[in-house]
Every structure is written in structure tokens, then in C-alpha cells.
Amino acid sequence: MSDYTVRRLSMYYRILDELERESDDVVSSASLARMTGTNSAQVRKDLSYFGNFGKRGRGYSVSDLRERLRAILGLDRQWNVLLVGAGHLGSALFSYKDFAKRGFHIVGILDNDPEKLGRSWDGIAVNAISEAEEVVARTGAEVAVIVTPAHAAQEVIERLTRAGVRGFLNFAPIKPETTEPVRVRNVNITIELEGLAYALQHDELTRPSL
Amino acid sequence: MSDYTVRRLSMYYRILDELERESDDVVSSASLARMTGTNSAQVRKDLSYFGNFGKRGRGYSVSDLRERLRAILGLDRQWNVLLVGAGHLGSALFSYKDFAKRGFHIVGILDNDPEKLGRSWDGIAVNAISEAEEVVARTGAEVAVIVTPAHAAQEVIERLTRAGVRGFLNFAPIKPETTEPVRVRNVNITIELEGLAYALQHDELTRPSL
DNA sequence: CGCTGTGAATGTATTCACAGCG
DNA sequence: CGCTGTGAATACATTCACAGCG
């Protein structure tokens, strides 16, 4: 299944969550499409990869579709997450409420800054990176969020991979090289801003009167 | 030009920056490809949209190509950025050094929390959202980084659009609706984590012995 | 000879358009 | 009649493969 499809499933899931809170009980592919910025054929195709969830002439049951997407996305269980990097961004992610809401629980924190070592955040201790293996074993972390400086990221990803972590959400501005069968998603804030700069500059040049 | 290409140009630019610090003077499409996780034909095609920068049999001049990408991406000038939302994530982005390095200068901060209003961060005052128009006019902000809660994002984006902001880097988990000709990039951390969960769960099911 | 630049070929994602069911 | 589910058509991105220049 392509990443494009999975991303959209996440968006549908979020909308269904809202619709359920608003007590809507049915939704059409057209209105899901409008709310997620795509088109109805796309919605139907995305969902049809996983089954026939809709009723012709009527649409999709909100609560049923929501439950199915929850299972498809793997959100019907808890995911133990290791936070690597206890700087500003790490601390912001630690307090990000949506993670827990979706089943992602931060069970360990790693950092090498002596200032931070030994402290604890909401009862979670900050451990040294040299203790990575022990922390992974103790907490059963399957996923790591990497918010270290760029130069530290590659090494820590390799080390955690060997320790058994299989999924990485990487905020460091590098493209990690991986050997083992491991899943990596890169989030690169600078690249997104540069994309904006490119687009704005280009608009100016091509539509100078606007 | 497609977003895919522009994203890769950003990656090439970052690598060229490194190579220049290491005093390399020439680089081939093959090695740029290796370092950015793509292939050499892709690198050559991406660059060829903008000109013939290479020398056959030799490669690309690091400093020359770096300068050209800098101009193409619009990084050869300062961009004035408004930070909207002074919470954990806003504060992490405020102290993110790479922004300034790339020419993005935070010139204003907006938030509605009375706790934060009137304070200032490194000399930049936190203003109320009701003062948005005045702040945009005073600072000449062209880009806004949206790190408000989801429910506040749509309205503030509309308001800033009317005030003249043309680019948005949106971290709120919504798909903003825009009318005017405005550029939006969405960064949705939860969607990325959910994509990991999907992939890991699927791996488990298909390769139960690993 | 080595590497770029690029048309042609391929692969992948999206959209169209309509048959078919409730 | 309204909306889904889906094969066919289209649009788009990537990769191949090689001619051509330094």
C-alpha cells in the first residue's frame, strides 16, 4: 500500500473522529473528500483496497468506518515510543497531547547532555545514550522519535536498530542509511520552509502585478 | 515545478553546503544521489530543469552549484516570518537555529494566552491575535508558521491572508481552506507516526517470523 | 574515457465514467 | 435515484539508456 494512501487514511480517520463526536452517523465519499482536500473517487479507491465498507445510495457508517480505519492503521493497540533528544523540540513533542490520544506512549527518554541526565519528565527518567540497549529492553520500545542534532542521528539510529527498534520518526536533517528491515519517516522542517520560499519567490516573478 | 523536485533541491543544497565546508570542489550526480537517497538520473534531471550546470566528464562545481541552488530556492534574501502560537512547539521552533541560517527571521509572535501576552522572547514581543494586521504591517512578514491548536488555525490563516501573508507553514492538524492565492505546506506529526504504525503492524503480519 | 543532459520507456498515482446495488 | 466500487484512461514522476561534449 502506498504512503500516499496511508496518509489519506489518517486524514479520514481524524475527520471520522470529529463526525462521531458531532453524532453524524453516515458520511459520503464526496463529503469526506471535501473535508480532506481530495476527490470522491480517491476516497472510494483508498477505502476499497481494504474492503467494501460503504452502502450504495447511502454512504459509509461513521462509527463502523472509524473502527475499521483504526484497526487498519494499527491504532487499536498501544505503541511504546522512545524519545531521543531532550532539547526544545523533544520537550515540545513530549507534551504533545495527540500522541497519547492515538496510542503512542513515551516510555523512555535518551540524551547525552549531562545537564539533563538523571532528571525525569513526568516520571520518565532521562537516560544516557550509552544505556540505549537496556532502556529498549526494559521498556519494550518499538518506535523511536529522533530529535537529536544532525551529527548524532545516524549513530543512534544504528544503535537502536541493533537493539530492536523497528520504526523511526526522524526530525534530524539527514537521510539515515539503514540496512536492517526498518521503517523510517523523515520530517524536515527546513525543507518545508524552503519549499515555501521557492513557491513565493516564483509567484512574485511570474505574477509581478499581484 | 513539482514539489518533489523542489524538496530534492533542498537536500542537494544541504549536501553542497557540507561539501563546501569540507573544501570539495567538484561533485558528480552519482555521489549527490548517494548522499540524498536517490539516483543519478534523478539528480541530473532535477538540475537540468534550471540550466546546464555541469561539465561532461567532470561533474558539478560545488560552489557554483550551491550558489545557483541558493538563488533558485529563494534563499539569497531574508524572509520575515511570523510565529503564531507561543506554546511548546512554537518555543522550540523559535530557538531552532537552522531557520536563521537559511534566511528565515522570526519578526513577530502572536498568541492569545493572557499568560504569554506582553512578554517578549529575545526582544520579540508576544502580541494578541487581534493585533495581527498591525504586526504584519509593522514587520513586513510574508510567511507565517502556524502552531496553534487545531480549532484556531483556520481563522488565523484567513485573517493573516487578508493582512497580506502569502505563505503558511501549518503544523495544526487541519487542511486549511484557502481562497486567495496563497501557499500552504502542512506538517502533520501525528500522520507520520500513524504511517509508521501502519507499516510496522503490516510487517508483523506479513513476516511473523522476523 | 567519464560524466552530463535528455528523449523514450516505464512505473505509479489520480481521475474519469459508468455499471450495479440498496 | 444516489452513491459505491472499479476497470479504463489520464496525468505525473522516475528510471533507462545513450548520444555527445570536455
Per-residue exposure over A25-57, b if at least 16 CB sit within 10 Å of its own CB, e if not: ebbebebbbbbbebeeebbbebbeeeeeebeee
Each residue's pLDDT tens digit, A82-141: 999 999 999 999 999 999 999 999 999 999 999 999 999 999 999 999 999 999 999 999
> Residue B37: CB partners within 8 Å, gap ≥ 6?
A175
CB atoms near residue B64 (< 10 Å): 15
Residue of B nearest to A165 (CA): B200
CA angle A50/B201/B149 to nearest 5° reads: 85
Q: Residue A2: which of A68, A54, A53, A46 has the closest Cα? A: A46
Residue A210 has pLDDT above 50, yes or no: no
Residue B190 near chain A (CB below 8 Å): yes
User: What is the mean predicted confidence (pLDDT) over A139-161?
Assistant: 97
CB atoms near residue A185 (< 10 Å): 19
Under a CB-based contact definition with an 8 Å cutoff, are residues A198 and B8 in contact?
Answer: no
Low pLDDT (below 50) residues in chain B: 210
Report the distance separating Cα B36 and Cα A182, nearest Å. 18
Whole-number pLDDT of residue A203: 84
Q: What are B151-158's contacts with CB under 8 Å, separation 24+?
A: B152/B85, B152/B112, B156/B84, B156/B110, B156/B129, B156/B132, B157/B184
Interface test with B, best of A4, A8, A10, A207 (most B CBs within 10 A): A10
Closest residue (CA) to C1' of nucleotide C6 is B45
Pick the CATH number of B3-72 from 1.10.10.10, 3.40.50.2000, 3.40.605.10, 1.20.1050.10: 1.10.10.10
Interface test with B, best of A105, A161, A194 (most B CBs within 10 A): A194
DSSP assigned state of B37: T
Q: Residue A108: which of A96, A122, A97 has the closest Cα? A: A122
Report the distance separating Cα B10 and Cα A199, nearest Å. 13
Residue B4 near chain A (CB below 8 Å): no
Q: What is the CA radius of gyration of chain A?
A: 21
The strand order across the sheet containing B59-61 reads: B26-27, B59-61, B54-55
Whole-number pLDDT of residue B204: 74
Grid-cell match 523542489, residue found: B6
User: What is the mean predicted confidence (pLDDT) over A16-21?
Assistant: 98
Q: Residue A195: which of B107, B179, B18, B74 has the closest Cα? A: B74
**pTM of the shown model:** 0.95
- Residue B189, all three cell numbers: 506529526
DSSP assigned state of B66: H
Whole-number pLDDT of residue B205: 61
Please give the mean pLDDT across all residues of chain A: 96
Q: Give whole-number Cα distances, B206 to A43, A120, B200, in Å.
A: 25, 38, 10
Residue at A151: amino acid letter? H
Under a CB-based contact definition with an 8 Å cutoff, are residues B54 and B47 in contact?
Answer: yes
Contact: A183, B201; criterion CB under 8 Å: no
Q: What is the residue extent of each domain of chain B?
A: 3-72, 79-191
Residue A43 has pLDDT above 80, yes or no: yes
Closest residue (CA) to C1' of nucleotide D16 is B41
> Residue B87: CB partners within 8 Å, gap ≥ 6?
A92, B111, B113, B147
Whole-number pLDDT of residue B103: 96
Whole-number pLDDT of residue A204: 74
Whole-number pLDDT of residue B210: 45
CA atoms within 13 A on the CB side of B105: 12
Whole-number pLDDT of residue A8: 98
> Residue B137: CB partners within 8 Å, gap ≥ 6?
B163, B164
Whether B3-72 shares its CATH topology with B79-191 is answered no
Mapping DSSP to helix (H, G, I), strand (E, B) and coil, where does residue A8 land? helix
Is B79-191 assigned to CATH 1.10.10.10? Answer: no
Report the distance separating Cα A122 and Cα B204, nearest Å. 31
Residue of B nearest to A142 (CA): B200
Report the distance separating Cα A64 and Cα A12, nearest Å. 13
Closest residue (CA) to C1' of nucleotide D6 is A45
- Residue A11, all three cell numbers: 486524514
Under a CB-based contact definition with an 8 Å cutoff, are residues B144 and B169 in contact?
Answer: yes
Percent over 90 (pLDDT), chain A:
94
Report the distance separating Cα B67 and Cα B126, nearest Å. 36
Contact: A185, B192; criterion CB under 8 Å: yes
